[in-house]
Amino acid sequence: MPDVYEPAGASPLDPIVAVVACVERGADALLFDAGALPAAFFDLRSGLAGEVAQKLVNYGLRMAAVVPDLPDQPPRFREFAREANGGGRLRFFATRAEALAWLAAEGAGA
């Protein structure tokens, strides 16, 4: 399993701050559980999701996000998630177990 940083707390957090904390701790992956991402992340007009994705690339990090209500998100965000799920830096999962399995598999070089 890779070194995964998971922000504490169930309330929405600033994902940019979490990326910085991940780097500061020397972790190579970030896990956001359900409800930890702010509403602005799901509104692509805010630019937050794109900024997070760019930081992941810049710092060589991976991020798994548990978003069980992905089908209920705005259409443009669902499109962003489908595109992200095709890459290796940012993926969205319905369950925590799926997210952890991806992080473990990718961390093992799979």
What is the secondary structure of 36-50 as a DSSP string?
-S-HHHH-GGG-HHH
SS3 label, residue 32? strand
Residue type, 11: S
What CATH class is the domain 4-107? alpha beta
Percent of all residues in the chain with a pLDDT value above 70, rounded to a whole number: 92
pLDDT of residue 110: 42
**13: pLDDT confidence band, cut at 50, 70 and 90?**
confident
Strand order of the β-sheet with 90-93 is 4-5, 29-32, 62-66, 90-93
Which of 6-20, 29-43, 50-64, 92-106 shows the lowest per-residue confidence on average (mean pLDDT)?
Answer: 6-20
Each residue's pLDDT tens digit, 44-96: 999 999 999 999 999 999 999 999 999 999 999 999 999 999 999 999 999 99
User: What distance in Å separates the CA atoms of residue 85 and residue 39, rounded to the nearest whole number?
Assistant: 20
pLDDT classification of 22: cutoffs 50, 70, 90: very high
Domain range list for the chain: 4-107
Q: Choose between 11 and 38: higher pLDDT.
A: 38
